[in-house]
């Protein structure tokens, strides 16, 4: 597992912006990959203020945003078929699997995907 590059999922980003110190410590000094799905989820949250949106966009501009390319699409389909995972979670997991990077998350549901290196932070 490459320690300086990780995939950060939606729950991790939300908790970072909610001030969870453990998340900040966990991602400090790492190169963050973020699925386009997580980008959409955090930027479309119904309670975002314009200031929150600017902060999130600034944060995301420092991340590598990953679009859904054909290989990620194929892995997503395999995950959905095998694990019956929700589509957004399957795309996020497929992104991590495709890049062979750990997925840092606070969502325990990712533990069921055997091919995924899920690092689940629990508070």
Domains parsed from the chain with CATH numbers = 5-120 (3.40.50.1010)
Does residue 106 contact residue 10 with C-beta atoms inside 8 Å? no
Q: What is the pLDDT of residues 20-79, one digit of tens each?
A: 999 999 999 999 999 999 999 999 999 999 999 999 999 999 999 999 999 999 999 999
**What's the pLDDT at 66?**
98
Does residue 120 contact residue 111 with C-beta atoms inside 8 Å? yes
Q: Strand order in 31-35's β-sheet? A: 64-66, 31-35, 5-8, 103-105, 118-120
**What's the pLDDT at 122?**
86
**Which is nearest to 64 in space by CA: 121, 110, 7?**
7
* Cβ count near 84 (within 10 Å): 9
Does residue 104 contact residue 26 with C-beta atoms inside 8 Å? yes
Q: Which two tokens stand for residue 38?
A: 């997580």
CA distance 40 to 42: 6
What pTM, to 2 d.p., does this model score?
Answer: 0.94
Does residue 95 contact residue 87 with C-beta atoms inside 8 Å? no
């Amino acid at each position: 597992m490459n320690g300086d590059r990780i995939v950060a999922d939606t729950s991790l980003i939300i908790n970072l912006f909610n001030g969870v110190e453990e998340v900040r410590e966990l991602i400090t000094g790492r190169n963050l990959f973020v699925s386009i799905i997580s980008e959409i989820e955090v930027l479309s949250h119904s309670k975002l203020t314009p200031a929150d949106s600017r902060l999130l966009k600034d944060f995301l501009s420092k991340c590598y945003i990953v679009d859904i390319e054909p290989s990620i699409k194929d892995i997503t389909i395999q995950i959905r078929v095998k694990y019956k995972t929700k589509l957004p979670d399957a795309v996020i997991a497929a992104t991590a699997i495709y890049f062979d990077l750990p997925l840092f998350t606070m969502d325990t549901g990712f533990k069921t995907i055997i091919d995924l290196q899920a690092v689940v932070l629990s508070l």
